[in-house]
Amino acid sequence: MRKTFYFIMSLFILVMAFSCKDNKPKSVLSEVEAAGDSVSTGDSTVYGIMVEGGMNSIVLLTDHGDTLEYLVNPNDTFEVVKGGKIDGDRFAIIGYKEYGDHFMRSAINLTTLLGNWTSLDRNFEIKEDGTVTSSLQSEKNPWTAWKIWNGKLVLSKDTFDIESLGADSLSLENKSGLFVFTRGK
């Protein structure tokens, strides 16, 4: 009887060992990379022309031909729209849908962003075609290209949050600090 018990237990352990062999956990890194790739492959920003704007909304004619109304969430405690609201200006909006309405997480007036910007160590122009030209010969690592990617401003290799954007000032922030620029001529 004792031998039978050990024999059955041995078989049970062997069956468990072989059944677990086929169910090895998949590499977590490959799953994370796949998830990261799906996020990085697409820009979640909606681009278009503002056709109408109210105190708490923007009606956007998107580049895909859709007309969407984006609302400002009344619970937001910070300025969502950077660069002001002017009919006919081009916008980049990061939004979300809640209760059937589209809300803005951030909206960047790209028309206001274009132009000359200066600081103590930089003097550059953001152009509509996605290029950046520098006016200073002594500038280290001048920016040569720009784009909005998932609500952030990418200047060449540097990625920034736009803290504020006005007619005559621009504040950018990243892990290196806060950078303030004034409108150049």
pLDDT band at residue 15 using 50, 70 and 90 as cut-offs: low
Q: Alpha-carbon dihedral of residues 70, 74, 80, 84, nearest 10 degrees?
A: 70
For residue 22, is pLDDT > 60? no
pLDDT band at residue 18 using 50, 70 and 90 as cut-offs: low
For residue 108, is pLDDT > 90? yes
Say whether 114-183 and 46-110 share the same fold: no
* CA–CA separation, 182 and 118 (whole Å): 5
Model confidence pLDDT, tens digit, residues 117-163? 999 888 999 999 999 998 877 777 889 999 999 999 999 999 999 99
Q: Where are the domains of the chain?
A: 46-110, 114-183
**Domain at 114-183: CATH architecture:** Beta Barrel (2.40)
**Lowest pLDDT segment from 5-14, 90-99, 165-174:** 5-14
* CA–CA separation, 52 and 61 (whole Å): 9
* CA–CA separation, 58 and 130 (whole Å): 24
State the pLDDT at residue 41: 57
Among the four given CATH numbers 1.20.120.1200, 3.40.630.30, 2.40.50.140, 2.160.10.10, the one describing domain 46-110: 2.40.50.140
State the pLDDT at residue 185: 75
Give the three-state DSSP class for 47. strand
Look up residue 123 and give its DSSP letter.
E
N-terminal to C-terminal alpha carbon distance within the chain: 97
Model confidence pLDDT, tens digit, residues 39-83? 445 889 999 999 998 888 999 999 999 999 999 887 776 789 999
